[in-house]
């Protein structure tokens, strides 16, 4: 495992191009494009203000930079550096900007969600979509890029609009049985649209492409409900994370619950392995405790850490949420399936130091990773069943079915990893600090161990 030198970045704006060849980062009002393999600067663009949001087009030819406080979007071309495009939304403002799947249209959502404006880079044509709903996830594109689902709110009712992305004509428009729609998401195969209600009403609805209601699922009433929703890449499972600290798995044939995963404070499951991070200061002997894997690349003056395998039962630290605050820190906030749909990783907010890994074939708990500090981010390798996580410190953590490892990031000045992203090849990771980034290159000989 090797690490690159450290580069500057602002607001965690760092993205690898979809083709995996380029790395774009924003530093204040500058956009820097590097070659991923050499990290040499290929292009340097100057925006009109500090960038709020940056995104690659699907074909890796254009980069969108949005400046929300100015109501501006600038688009830059990688092939023709002299070509540029500026979209000014004017006094109506801008709160969100994104590419359409074809990489030739830009969708801007105005302030107060008055409308979505669709700008064409090819013809300069403009289309308007009225009444978009301000919610957690109000727009989603099908995986093949053919359809766009949009949550709409008018006359105090929720609707879903399905548009054809080729020419933006309305294919379907139907009312949903939600009190306050919070989000929608296409299944990876594009056959089913999942729609869920706000946390005040436990309701998940499943619609076909033509707007037929296929099924309704509600686990309970009169308590905070759905907190997170995720499809498995195979489209076979829909995972629903709730405020009651459980994950419910629906199957794609009957849309009934096939199992639920609980997150108890005391783990007494004989089949699960619990890995606990143990820190040690330099100079302390490392032979006292049995190790599952050793720490790699540790620097001299940093606290090193390793994982121990804990005998059951194990007590997971629980933080009691403040009942007087909005969005209490309780329940399943993050759900992530591995690329082969074999594993599901979850995080329960009132057990902030733990990541739970579930085996979807056995429908049981596979492993729990208990860290010394709160987990900030975790993400699966896009090609292999390998999970990377970070906890706001100077370490990177990896889990695979073979075990766990804690790796010190060997940079000067204490690079604290706040979030991370895999390269699409799974051969490297982008580690993001508060104002810096570095790349971690995996040893491909060890990748399947």
Would you write out the chain's pLDDT as a tens digit for each of its 449 residues?
899 999 999 999 999 999 999 999 999 999 999 999 999 999 999 999 999 999 999 999 999 999 999 999 999 999 999 998 999 999 999 999 999 999 999 999 999 999 999 999 999 999 999 999 999 999 999 999 999 999 999 999 999 999 999 999 999 999 999 999 999 999 999 999 999 999 999 999 999 999 999 999 999 999 999 999 999 999 999 999 999 999 999 999 999 999 999 999 999 977 899 999 998 766 544 444 444 444 443 344 456 789 999 999 999 999 998 877 877 899 999 999 999 999 999 999 999 999 999 999 999 999 999 999 999 999 999 999 999 999 999 999 999 999 999 999 988 777 899 999 999 999 999 999 999 999 999 976 554 44
Phi-psi region of 82 (alpha: psi -120 to 50; beta: other; left: phi over 0): alpha
Q: State residue 326's pLDDT score.
A: 78
Q: State residue 445's pLDDT score.
A: 55
Q: State residue 300's pLDDT score.
A: 40
Please report, for the chain, the start and end positions of each structural domain, with discontinuous segments joined by +.
Answer: 1-130, 131-228, 263-281+304-320+328-408
- 131-228: CATH topology is Lipocalin (2.40.128)
Residues 24, 15 contacting (CB under 8 angstroms): yes
Q: State residue 299's pLDDT score.
A: 40
Record the tokens describing residue 164, joined without a space.
């054809």
Q: What top-level class would CATH report for the domain 1-130?
A: mainly beta
Q: State residue 298's pLDDT score.
A: 38
Q: State residue 84's pLDDT score.
A: 87
């Amino acid at each position: 495992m090797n690490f690159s030198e450290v580069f500057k970045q602002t607001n965690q704006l760092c993205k690898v191009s979809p083709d995996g060849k380029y790395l774009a980062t924003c530093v204040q009002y500058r956009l820097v494009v590097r070659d991923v393999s050499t990290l040499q600067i290929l292009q340097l663009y100057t925006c009109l203000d500090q960038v709020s949001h940056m995104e690659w087009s699907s074909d890796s030819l254009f980069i969108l930079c949005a400046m929300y406080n100015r109501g501006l979007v600038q688009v830059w071309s990688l092939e023709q550096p002299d070509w540029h495009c500026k979209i000014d939304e004017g006094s109506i403002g801008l709160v969100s900007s994104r590419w359409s799947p074809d990489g030739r249209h830009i969708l801007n959502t105005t302030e107060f969600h008055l409308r979505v404006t669709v700008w064409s880079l090819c013809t300069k044509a403009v289309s308007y979509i009225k009444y978009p709903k301000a919610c957690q996830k109000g727009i989603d594109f099908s995986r093949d890029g053919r359809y766009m689902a949009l949550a709409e709110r008018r006359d105090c009712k929720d609707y879903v609009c399905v548009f054809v992305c080729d020419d933006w004509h309305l294919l379907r428009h139907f009312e949903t049985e939600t009190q306050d729609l919070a989000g929608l998401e296409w299944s990876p195969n594009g056959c089913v649209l999942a729609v869920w209600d706000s946390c005040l009403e436990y309701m998940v609805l499943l619609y076909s492409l033509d707007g037929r209601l296929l099924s309704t699922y509600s686990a309970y009433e009169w308590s905070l409900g759905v907190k997170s929703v995720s499809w498995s890449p195979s489209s076979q499972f829909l995972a629903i994370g709730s405020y009651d600290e459980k994950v419910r798995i629906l199957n794609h044939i009957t849309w009934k619950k096939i199992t639920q995963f609980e997150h108890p404070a005391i783990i007494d499951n004989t089949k699960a392995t619990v890995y606990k991070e143990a820190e040690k200061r330099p100079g302390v002997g490392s032979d006292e405790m049995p190790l599952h894997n050793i720490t790699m690349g540790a620097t001299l003056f940093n606290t090193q850490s390793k994982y121990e395998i804990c005998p059951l039962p194990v007590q997971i630290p629980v933080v009691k949420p403040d009942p007087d605050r909005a969005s209490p820190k309780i329940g399943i906030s993050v759900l992530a399936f591995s690329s082969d749909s074999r594993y599901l990783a979850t995080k329960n907010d009132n057990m902030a130091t733990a990541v739970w890994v579930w085996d979807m074939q056995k429908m049981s708990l596979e492993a729990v990773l208990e860290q010394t500090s709160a987990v900030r981010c975790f993400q699966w390798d896009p090609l292999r069943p390998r999970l990377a996580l970070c906890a706001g410190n100077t370490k990177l953590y990896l889990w695979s079915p073979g075990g766990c490892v804690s790796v010190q990031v060997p940079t000067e000045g204490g690079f604290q990893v706040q979030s991370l992203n895999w390269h699409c090849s799974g051969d490297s990771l982008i580690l993001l600090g508060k104002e810096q980034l570095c790349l971690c290159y995996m040893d491909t000989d060890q990748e399947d161990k």
